[in-house]
């Protein structure tokens, strides 16, 4: 008879496999968890708990299994209602048939010849992913060498210095965190700050400087520490102690759910999860900004217009992308929530995307401007803004580019065979860029394309595949 852990592993595997067929609505899971986190719970008096102690001991195992089953059913329901037009970054577009167990989990180039890709393998035994292999090229993608392997999900960041010597592979929540100082020939596993009991936010500006915001391992709950490193995680210093409910307050309380980014050593941005529901106030979209390296934070509300009517009940926002110290953009996606039972069956519907821009380092943001994509395109999968004018987008219809900040768009993937589908895109300059693809067919595999003329022409290179 299967043990509970066996059942849980199988259910997680089934849910992950199902989820790959129904890519997620933006931040749906975060919204569900946020609602659970802020829902008041009835607490029985201590005497009642004591009287029920024996009964609880008998029921706890059954209850645990029931909870697992309920979570599984919930995942299926959520998966079935997720909007197909909003896949997660590491999943092929729209259920495209591809290699089912290996995917690109990171891409980072320091020049036209030297760069890194990460591949992650998944299975029913390891639905969250693993092993992961980090490959390096020094000849522009002609050949690749395995430089680092670990048994776990893919990295959230790969960072290398301009000369390619110092580098980091950063896992989710800093697990794992690997550092190299010789171009990837040798790696050292770094440790997170010991005072950090639960890492919520992590971001590295480059191969040396990074920040961790984590709940503190102390008796008083609700406080987070800001930790800073300037040597790639070899040493950490705590620079602040924050009351989450006060600093990152939203409605009934504070939260560290969201994303963190820094544009320089002083200026950072925290984009919180959008919430909506009974008892949660609807307010203007907002970001939190620090100008002193994370020691203090201030809320900054984004403007809206009567035509866009953006707020926390109908839109989600990305972290800002900066091209230089002053100029940057921030993307908002507006969606509808149909009232009544129909919403549970159909899920939210994407209405349009909006872009905010700044020319003073984020002190002020423009009114939201609609991003009008070519006919037939319904969503932005990835926005890579190289400078104030040149943007590249991976959408549900392929790769698009604009040279005038979104006023006009050009489709760039006419060169792609019908069985190859772009996963992500990275441009180091308006001319030099990379696009990894999934190749479907009898023998699914992976490949990568390189352009040096803004996408007019592309060169194709094969890449190794884990387990091939």
pLDDT digits 0-9 by tens, 401-438: 999 998 899 988 888 998 898 888 999 899 999 999 98
Is the confidence at residue 167, as pLDDT, over 60? yes
Number of helices and strands in the chain (H, E): 6, 32
What gap in Å lies between CA 224 and CA 213, rounded to an integer?
Answer: 6
Mean pLDDT, range 79-103, rounded to an integer: 40
| pLDDT the model gives residue 345 | 52
pLDDT score of 40 = 34
Which has more pLDDT, 183 or 8? Answer: 183
The predicted pLDDT at position 55 comes to 38
pLDDT value at position 303? 96
Give the least confident one: 55-59, 239-243, 333-337, 376-380. 55-59
Residue 212 has pLDDT above 70, yes or no: yes
Higher-confidence position of 68 and 319: 319
Contact partners, residue 398, CB within 8 Å, separation at least 6: 411, 412, 413, 416, 422
Distance CA 195, CA 227 (A): 9
The SS3 call for residue 13 is helix
The whole model's pTM is what?
0.76
Radius of gyration of the chain (CA): 23
Instruction: For the chain, give the mean pLDDT.
Output: 78
382 forms bridges with which residues in the sheet?
394
In the prediction, which pLDDT does 57 show? 42
**pLDDT class of 168 with cuts at 50, 70, 90:** very high
Interval 73-100 mean pLDDT: 34
Nearest residue to 151 (alpha-carbon basis) of 120, 172, 109, 181: 120
Cis peptide before 350 (omega within 30 of 0): no
Whether residue 189 is predicted with pLDDT greater than 70 in this model: the reply is: yes
The count of residues in the chain is 468
∠ Cα 394 397 402 (to 5°) = 50
**Count of CB atoms situated within 10 Å of the CB of 235:** 11
Higher model confidence: residue 441 or residue 289? 289
Torsion sign across C-alpha atoms 276, 279, 285, 291: negative
Structural tokens at position 302: 């984004």
- Would you state the pLDDT for residue 161? 97
Q: How confident is the model at residue 337 (pLDDT cuts 50, 70, 90)?
A: low
Q: Is the pLDDT of residue 23 over 80?
A: no
What span, in angstroms and rounded, lies between the C-alpha atoms of 228 and 235?
Answer: 8
Cβ within 8 Å of residue 146, ≥6 positions away:
133, 134, 135, 464
Q: Tell me which range, 165-169, 273-277, 444-448, is most confidently predicted by mean pLDDT.
A: 165-169
What is the percent of the chain where pLDDT is above 90?
50
pLDDT of residue 251: 61
State the pLDDT at residue 338.
Answer: 52
Terminal CA-CA length for the chain: 34
Does pLDDT of 375 surpass 80? Answer: no
Q: Give every CB contact of residue 40 below 8 A, 6+ residues apart in sequence.
A: none
Sorted by sequence, the CB contacts under 8 Å of residue 169 that are 6+ apart come out as: 106, 118, 134, 148, 155, 157, 158, 176, 177, 178, 187
Is pLDDT of 78 > 50? Answer: no
Average pLDDT over residues 318-335: 91
Asked if 70 contacts 387 with a C-beta cutoff of 8 angstroms, the reply is no
Which H/E stretch holds residue 71? helix 53-81
Arithmetic mean of pLDDT, 321-327: 92
For residues 423 and 95, the model is more confident at: 423
pLDDT at site 58: 36
Q: How far is CA 53 from CA 44, 47, 106, in A?
A: 12, 10, 49
- Among the ranges given (11-25, 69-83, 200-214), the one the predictor scored with the smallest mean pLDDT: 69-83
The pLDDT of residue 442: 72
Task: In whole angstroms, give the CA distance from residue 118 to residue 257.
Answer: 26
Q: What are the distances in angstroms from CA 172 to CA 175, 177, 198?
A: 6, 9, 12
pLDDT of residue 33: 36
Q: Examine the pLDDT at 132 and tell me if it is beyond 80.
A: yes
């Amino acid at each position: 008879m299967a043990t509970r852990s066996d059942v849980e592993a199988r259910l997680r595997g089934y849910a992950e496999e199902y989820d790959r067929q129904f890519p997620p609505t933006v931040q749906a899971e975060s919204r569900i968890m946020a609602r659970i986190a802020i829902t008041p719970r009835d607490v029985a008096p201590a005497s009642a708990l004591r009287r029920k102690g024996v009964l609880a001991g008998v029921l706890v195992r059954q209850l645990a299994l029931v909870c697992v089953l309920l979570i599984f059913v919930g995942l299926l329901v959520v998966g079935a209602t997720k909007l197909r037009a909003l896949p997660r970054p590491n999943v092929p577009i729209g259920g495209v048939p591809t290699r089912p167990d290996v995917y690109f989990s990171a891409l980072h180039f320091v020049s036209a010849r030297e760069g890194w890709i990460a591949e992650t393998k998944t299975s029913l035994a390891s639905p969250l992913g693993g092993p992961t292999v980090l490959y390096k090229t020094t000849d522009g993608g002609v050949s690749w060498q395995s430089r680092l392997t670990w048994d776990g999900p893919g990295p959230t960041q790969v960072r290398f210095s301009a000369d390619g010597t110092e580098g980091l592979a950063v896992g989710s929540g800093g697990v794992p965190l690997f550092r190299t100082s010789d171009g990837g020939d040798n790696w050292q596993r770094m440790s997170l700050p010991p005072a950090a009991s639960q890492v919520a936010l992590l971001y590295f500006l480059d191969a040396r400087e990074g920040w961790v915001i984590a709940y503190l391992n102390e008796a008083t709950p609700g406080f987070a520490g800001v930790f800073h490193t300037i040597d790639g995680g070899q040493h950490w210093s705590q620079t602040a102690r924050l009351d989450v409910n006060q600093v990152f307050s939203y409605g009934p309380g504070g939260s560290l759910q969201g994303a963190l980014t820094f544009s320089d050593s002083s200026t950072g941005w925290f984009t919180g999860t959008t919430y909506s529901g009974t008892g949660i106030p609807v307010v203007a979209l907002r970001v939190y900004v620090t100008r002193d390296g994370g020691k203090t934070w201030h809320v900054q509300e984004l403007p809206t217009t009567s035509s866009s009517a953006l707020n926390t009940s109908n839109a989600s926002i990305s972290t800002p992308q900066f091209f230089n110290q002053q100029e940057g953009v921030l993307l908002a996606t507006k969606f509808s929530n149909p009232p009544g039972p129909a919403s549970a069956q159909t899920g939210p519907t994407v209405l349009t995307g909006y872009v905010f821009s700044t020319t003073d380092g984020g002190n002020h943001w423009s009114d939201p401007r609609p991003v009008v994509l070519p006919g037939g395109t319904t969503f932005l999968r990835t926005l890579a803004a190289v400078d104030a004018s040149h943007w590249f987008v991976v959408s549900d219809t392929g790769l698009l580019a604009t040279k005038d900040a979104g006023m006009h768009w050009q489709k760039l993937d006419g060169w792609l065979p019908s069985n190859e589908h772009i996963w992500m895109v990275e441009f180091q300059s308006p001319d030099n860029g990379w696009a990894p693809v999934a190749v479907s067919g009898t023998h699914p595999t992976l490949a990568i394309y390189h352009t040096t003329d803004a996408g007019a022409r592309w060169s194709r290179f094969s890449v190794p595949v884990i387990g091939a």
